[in-house]
């Protein structure tokens, strides 16, 4: 397999981006191209720059070790320091935003969940729970989707309603003249 072709598929990592997303791409490149560690090692080293490259260069013993060890060490050094509770809060708070394509929401929500232990069924429930429109959410619940891909298939062409427009109520009270026989004046309704 051509190393340049694989390089095109693997973005550079400088230590500032999301290490989990980058490691997922590394894993996918390995699975798609079916390459050995001897091929992945120079590929990964060539895609590290900035702080990540400096870190690896300062540890020459890692270069001769297992590629999985290098990747695990990269994750420890450059991974987020969020605790599990904070990661779960970010995941739970992610909702399908007004005007956003469902596919963007669909990609983002499971990405936030990748380090949180949950079943596929729970992920489906959370995807549905993040739909703000009550009618769409209720329709999704009725479908009883089995896997997240089913939710994407059902919602990929659904246009997200715009944000509700809140009308300002006039602070003035409304008076209606209503004259009852035998009484003078008007009543306030």
Residues 71 and 17 grouped into a single domain: yes
Question: Does pLDDT of 130 surpass 70?
Answer: yes
Mean pLDDT over 139-147 rounds to 93
Mean pLDDT over 176-185 rounds to 50
Name the residue among 12, 162, 16 with its Cα closest to residue 78: 16
Given pLDDT bands bounded at 50, 70 and 90, which one contains residue 171? very low
Q: Write out the residue range of the structural domain in which residue 118 sits.
A: 84-155
Residues 123 and 59 grouped into a single domain: no
Residues 89 and 55 grouped into a single domain: no
- State how far the alpha carbon of 158 is from the alpha carbons of 75, 96, 133, 161, 187, in Å: 37, 12, 12, 9, 49
User: Residue 107: which residues within 8 A CB-CB, separation 6 or more?
Assistant: none
Residues 96 and 133 grouped into a single domain: yes
Q: State residue 136 phi and psi, 5-degree precision.
A: -65, -40
CA distance 14 to 125: 35
Question: Does pLDDT of 125 surpass 90?
Answer: yes
pLDDT of residue 38: 86
Residues 94 and 148 grouped into a single domain: yes
Residues 59 and 93 grouped into a single domain: no
Residue 16, CB half-sphere, CA atoms under 13 Å: how many? 4
In a domain, 170, yes or no: no
Mean pLDDT over 29-53 rounds to 90
Residues 91 and 57 grouped into a single domain: no
Given pLDDT bands bounded at 50, 70 and 90, which one contains residue 86? confident
Q: What is the mean pLDDT of the chain?
A: 83
Question: Does pLDDT of 140 surpass 60?
Answer: yes
Given pLDDT bands bounded at 50, 70 and 90, which one contains residue 178? very low
Residues 120 and 150 grouped into a single domain: yes
Residues 124 and 141 grouped into a single domain: yes
pLDDT of residue 127: 95
pTM over cut 0.75: no
Among residues 78, 110, 125, the one where a domain terminates is 78
pLDDT of residue 21: 86
Q: State the Cα angle at 156 between 111 and 109, rounded to 5°.
A: 15
Position of tokens 């390459």?
A: 35
CA distance 136 to 155: 9
Question: Does pLDDT of 145 surpass 60?
Answer: yes
In a domain, 181, yes or no: no
Question: Does pLDDT of 48 surpass 70?
Answer: yes
Total domains in the chain come to 2
CB 115 within 8 A of CB 79: no
Residues 74 and 90 grouped into a single domain: no
Residues 56 and 100 grouped into a single domain: no
Q: Helix %, strand %, coil % for the chain, to 5?
A: 55, 5, 40
């Amino acid at each position: 397999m051509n190393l340049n072709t694989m390089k095109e598929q693997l973005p550079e990592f400088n230590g500032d981006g999301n290490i989990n997303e980058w490691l997922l791409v590394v894993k996918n490149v390995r699975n798609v191209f079916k390459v050995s560690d001897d091929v992945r090692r120079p590929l990964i080293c060539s895609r590290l720059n900035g702080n990540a490259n400096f870190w690896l260069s300062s540890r020459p013993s890692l270069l001769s070790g297992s590629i999985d060890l290098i990747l695990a060490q990269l994750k420890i050094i450059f991974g987020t320091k969020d605790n599990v509770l904070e990661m779960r809060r970010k995941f739970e708070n992610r909702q399908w935003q007004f005007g956003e394509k469902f596919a963007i929401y669909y990609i983002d929500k499971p990405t936030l969940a990748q380090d949180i232990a949950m079943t596929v069924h729970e992920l489906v429930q959370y995807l549905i729970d993040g739909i703000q429109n009550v009618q769409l959410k209720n329709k999704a619940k009725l479908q009883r989707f089995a896997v997240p891909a089913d939710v994407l298939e059902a919602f990929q062409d659904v246009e997200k309603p715009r944000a509700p427009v809140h009308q300002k109520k006039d602070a003035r009270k409304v008076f209606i003249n209503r004259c009852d026989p035998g009484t003078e004046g008007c009543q306030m309704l």
